[in-house]
A = this chain, B = another copy of it.
Amino acid sequence: MGYEFDAQIAVAEEHPGRYSADLAGGWVVGGGVNGGYQLAVLGNAIATALPEKPDPIAISAYFLSPGAPGPAHVDVDVRRDGRNFATVAADLVQGDQARITTLAPYGDLRRLGGVGRTTASVIDLPPLEGGLSGSFGPPELRPPLLDRFDMRFHPDQVGWAMGNPSGEGVLSAWFRLADGREPDPLELLLVVDALPPTTFALGAMGWAPTLELTAHVRARPAPGWLKVRHLTRNLAGGMFEEDCEVWDSAGRLVAQSRQLALFPK
């Protein structure tokens, strides 16, 4: 049986180095197509170009223009192909407009091995049934994006949804895709940009466009629910950073990311 997410990130090779895709309408939020979803589409094209090294190890994405639902293509340029890693430059393009430009080393996480040791602490969340569903509010006011996920937020951190922001730059949630697909490295590229911006928790409810997002995939996630946390500490020059961690059901830190975004006006 096929999952919605796999169909929506599908790519077809036009010729070596160019892959066509179709950005699905269900991922629109804040006037554009979600950046994490675009990154998963682009990441899937790179994986297709590199069958021996199918996993993103790191990816840095710079957002050049907002994506729209509809046809797109991904240009993949392998800059270096070494023993364990291939480093590529890849762009997601619609018409003659680049939406995202990226640099990424890919490899095979099965071969590279799992988590060795960590001093990081697992994300503090109440049990699943104690989390607040991300689908609050009337359906006609919800961005279509929210129907793609099942999220259960830490109840202390979503006061902003009721007009009472916590004032602390942290948002955490249980996460899985609504279609029940189990997580894999590609899906993690979406997960690191799926939650609302931490600026909501700071009381700034406007759009917070991402300038740059770099994600590191540290291990293949185990099946089951993920725990995701976004943390912002520093506002400067009209921008804020957002650090994200993703932990899997086996209690391992499987992805780390940081983005730099514009503080809402």
How many angstroms between the C-alpha atoms of A102 and B212 in the bound complex?
Answer: 12
Pairs of residues from A and B, 4 with the lowest C-beta to C-beta distance, nearest first: A60-B60, A116-B235, A112-B237, A218-B236
How many angstroms between the C-alpha atoms of A237 and B254 in the bound complex?
Answer: 10
Chain B residues with CB under 8 A of A235: 115-118
Would you call A172 an interface residue if the criterion is a C-beta within 8 Å of the partner chain's C-beta atoms? Answer: no
Would you call A67 an interface residue if the criterion is a C-beta within 8 Å of the partner chain's C-beta atoms? Answer: no
Q: Are A57 and B234 in contact (CB under 8 A)?
A: no
Bin the interface of chain A by size.
Answer: 35 or more
Chain A positions near chain B (C-beta within 8 angstroms): 57-58, 60, 62, 64-65, 79-80, 85, 87, 89, 98, 101-103, 105, 107, 109, 112-120, 168-169, 211-212, 214, 216, 218-219, 233-239, 241, 252-253, 256, 258, 260, 263
A-B contact pairs, 12 of them (CB 8 A): A58-B212, A60-B103, A85-B211, A103-B212, A112-B238, A115-B237, A116-B235, A117-B235, A119-B169, A216-B258, A216-B260, A218-B237
